[in-house]
Amino acid sequence: MDARTQQASTTPPVALSIAGTDSGGGAGMTADVRAFAACGVHGAVAVTAVTVQNSLGVSGFHEVPPEVVAGQIRTVAGDMGVDAAKTGMLASREIIEAVVGACDAVGIGRRAAVGDGVPFVVDPVAASMSGSPLLADDALDAVRTELLPRATLVTPNLDEIALLVDIKVVDEASALEAAAALHALGATAVLVKGGHLEATTGRRQSECVDLLSVDGEVHEFRSPRLDRPHTHGGGDTLASAITAGLARGMSLVDAVGLGKEFITRAVEHSYPLGAGHGPVRAMPL
């Protein structure tokens, strides 16, 4: 077989995005699938909600029935197999319950009695960039009690940390306190994303520092802080690149390293689109 035929016939690993759509193509599963593809992974999807959205914001959404969300997960996993999965917008407690039921059934994520399953990245999306809620208030508890105990990795930003564990992260000590609180809820590993530190503290940051807490160790990932207005889909893209790394069999630390490099490049090459915030650009490394 020559190299080209071999490349064409080699099946890539499969990553599953359990997330909402974005009609503007910037965030959610649209961003996830682009990041998967750029990281050499086949993207499958279980759509949780359809958002009505453009670069200016989210003006509404329609939830997919929970049994249809669960059906997408089961039917994909049962046929092609899933090497890693991630969640984004989950919209409601009922959808979270359907997702964990289906994930347990197909072996995605950890289960107390069984241990580690397929790597499961939980990006605890609560709101859009412009502040529109993407998760019902009464669903936060299901994120804490149902999703986090199953998570290989949880990737909250500082706003999501405040919602989930009521800690205001302002420095490394409070970031580690937040990581400990998320471990206590059952997350195996925690990535505290520092990208919003400048906005929450008002202190100018020259770097974007993300802290990964896993197995009693803390790993620091630093990048220069790029002042770009077009960062729509940035969180989704980072979590998806990490998920792709895990699907490819990387260690968690290496997958987060890949994710950090990937998102830094994607922000650097982000582009204006529409009158509001344009998206980051998924590019192969």
> What is the binding site for ligand PXL (CB under 6 A)?
19-20, 22, 27-28, 51, 53, 58, 88-89, 125, 128-129, 134, 233, 235-236
Task: Specify whether the CB–CB gap between 41 and 244 falls below 8 A.
Answer: yes
Which one, 107 or 276, has the nearer CB to ligand PXL? 276
The closest of 79, 13, 48 to 255, measured between CA atoms, is 13
What is the C-alpha to C-alpha distance for residues 241 and 261, in angstroms, rounded to an integer? 9
The number of residues making up the chain comes to 285
Which one, 52 or 218, has the nearer CB to ligand PXL? 52
Closest residue by beta carbon to ligand PXL: 28
Q: Smallest distance, Å, CB 220 to ligand PXL? A: 24
Q: Which residue has the tokens 């499969």?
A: 14
* The Cα angle at residue 236 between residues 221 and 177, in degrees rounded to 5: 45
The residue type of 71 is: G
Q: Smallest distance, Å, CB 35 to ligand PXL? A: 12
Which one, 129 or 253, has the nearer CB to ligand PXL? 129
Which one, 19 or 263, has the nearer CB to ligand PXL? 19
Q: Smallest distance, Å, CB 157 to ligand PXL? A: 9
Q: Smallest distance, Å, CB 133 to ligand PXL? A: 11
What is the C-alpha to C-alpha distance for residues 97 and 113, in angstroms, rounded to an integer? 18
